[in-house]
Amino acid sequence: MEDTLKRLLMVETEAEQLVTKSKLEKEQIVQQVLSEVHQAEQQFKTKIPTIHSEFMQKAEQRAIHSIAELNKRYEERKLKLQELADDNQQKALEAAVQVIMQVKIDG
């Protein structure tokens, strides 16, 4: 019986040591993960200016492209309106000449 009690005490002691060891390992793992997360966060923070700069460059490129496209459409529309104005000016001159001729013939 005494041997059994000794073995039980020894097993209990070993179990307590395993629990203590497991707790230490768990704490080490948690600390390691926290350290890795902190390091990743710091790396991300150092990349923020680069990310921001790249985003701004892309936005500026899109804006330049959009402005160029709008200017192209504006010039095309301006040309069409100028052509229309020229056509209407010619028609207006012809109509005015006809009115003047009509007045001379009638007058």
- How far is CA 37 from each of CA 25, 41, 44, rounded to the nearest angstrom? 18, 6, 10
Domain ranges of the chain: 1-77
CA distance 40 to 46: 10
pLDDT digits (tens, 9 = 90+) for 82-102: 999 998 998 888 888 888 888
Task: Check whether 103 has a pLDDT greater than 90.
Answer: no
The DSSP symbol for 95 reads H
Does this model's pTM top 0.85?
A: no
Residue 2 has pLDDT above 80, yes or no: yes
% pLDDT > 70, the chain? 99
